[in-house]
Amino acid sequence: KAGVTQTPRYLIKTRGQQVTLSCSPISGHRSVSWYQQTPGQGLQFLFEYFSETQRNKGNFPGRFSGRQFSNSRSEMNVSTLELGDSALYLCASSATGDDGNTIYFGEGSWLTVV
């Protein structure tokens, strides 16, 4: 069974640009969540989607957005990039996202903003 797939793996963007990251969950998983990982802040929750609906959102500015498609694939977008957005963006999938569901991470997308 294929794991969580994230693309692209690495990217460099300039301040002010926008970026879209993609995530394909494990087959059969309908919940997709996104986390930002930085050395200083650790793993921070961005948002979670289930059946194309955002069920929760973390404490990030509105520049961070996401969506989920009918096939459970998900994308996240960051607009007007800032230097501080440089991070590893991790996508995780679980069967339903409900309490006690294990989440499985992808390898992440490394974003560098210059």
Partner 1 sequence: QQQVKQSPQSLIVQKGGISIINCAYENTAFDYFPWYQQFPGKGPALLIAIRPDVSEKKEGRFTISFNKSAKQFSLHIMDSQPGDSATYFCAAPYSGTYKYIFGTGTRLKVLA
Residue numbers at the binding site for partner 1 (CB under 8 A): 4, 6, 31, 33, 35, 42-43, 45, 48, 50, 55-56, 58, 90, 97-108
CB of 29 to partner 1, least distance (A): 13
Amino acid at 5: T
Cβ closest to partner 1, residue 16 vs residue 52: 52
Distance CA 9, CA 32 (A): 18
Q: Considering the complex, state which of residue 45 and residue 86 has its C-beta at the smaller distance from partner 1.
A: 45
Q: How far is the CB of 65 from partner 1 (least distance, A)?
A: 17
Q: How far is the CB of 56 from partner 1 (least distance, A)?
A: 5
Q: Which lies closer to partner 1 via its Cβ, residue 18 or residue 27?
A: 27
Tokens of 53: 């609906």
Task: Tell how many helices (H) and how many strands (E) occur in the chain.
Answer: 0, 11
Alpha carbon separation from 45 to 1, 64, 114 (Å, rounded) = 26, 12, 24
Q: Which is nearer to partner 1, 45 or 67 (CB)?
A: 45
The CB-side HSE value for 7 (13 A sphere, CA atoms) comes to 3
Nearest approach, Cβ of residue 16 and partner 1 (Å): 28
